[in-house]
Amino acid sequence: MHEFSLATSLLDLVRANCPDNEVLESITIEAGPMRGIEPQAMQWAWEAATNDTDLHGVKFELIQQPWTLHCPNCQTTFEADDMFTDCDCGCSRTSPVDCDNLRLVRLTVKDHANELV
Ligand SMILES: [Zn+2]
């Protein structure tokens, strides 16, 4: 269950990024498909990790990115539903690019959203 250790490290990240004296409402995470995150398990892990902490009740939102594949034949980079998608040129030796991202994209605090880059 790697989602749980992920949730624990997210907690630290959220704490480091949350402005002092602000009440957190929700966080948004963007994850690449290579992370293999199961949304349901991630939701559960987040609730378990925040239980009994000051972040209890903070909503967790997960944005799953599609696969980004690169074709060595025609040098195209395209998005696909799975990593074994052939390129339009017929090439099947495509390889994933930047598919193991994990980013904290947004912290929402009470009354206003705080966009992070
Ligand atoms: Zn191609």
Question: pLDDT per residue over 54-78, tens digit each?
Answer: 899 999 999 999 999 999 999 999 9
Give the distance (Å) from ligand 1 centre to CA of residue 37.
28
Do 14 and 48 sit in the same domain of this protein?
Answer: yes
81: left (phi over 0), alpha (psi -120 to 50) or beta: alpha
The pLDDT-based confidence of 117 (bands split at 50, 70, 90) is: very low
Number of domains in the chain: 2
Do 7 and 57 sit in the same domain of this protein?
Answer: yes
Give the pLDDT of residue 78. Answer: 97
Do 24 and 60 sit in the same domain of this protein?
Answer: yes
- Residue range(s) defining the domain that contains residue 111: 2-65+101-115
Do 41 and 51 sit in the same domain of this protein?
Answer: yes
CATH of the domain at 22: 3.30.2320.50
Do 26 and 36 sit in the same domain of this protein?
Answer: yes
Judge whether residue 110 has pLDDT over 90: no
Do 106 and 81 sit in the same domain of this protein?
Answer: no
Judge whether residue 20 has pLDDT over 90: no
How much is the mean pLDDT over the chain? Answer: 91
Give the distance (Å) from ligand 1 centre to CA of residue 81.
16
The pLDDT-based confidence of 19 (bands split at 50, 70, 90) is: confident
Give the pLDDT of residue 37. Answer: 93
pTM of the model: 0.80
Give the distance (Å) from ligand 1 centre to CA of residue 88.
6
Give the distance (Å) from ligand 1 centre to CA of residue 96.
13
Do 94 and 61 sit in the same domain of this protein?
Answer: no
Q: Concatenate the DSSP letters of all residues of 49-91 into one string.
A: HHTTSTTTT-EEEEEEPPEEEE-TTT--EEEESSTTPPPTTS-
Do 40 and 76 sit in the same domain of this protein?
Answer: no
Q: How many CB atoms lie under 10 A from the CB of residue 87? A: 20
Do 28 and 76 sit in the same domain of this protein?
Answer: no
Give the distance (Å) from ligand 1 centre to CA of residue 83.
14
Give the distance (Å) from ligand 1 centre to CA of residue 85.
11
Half-sphere exposure of 103 (CA within 13 A, CB side): 13
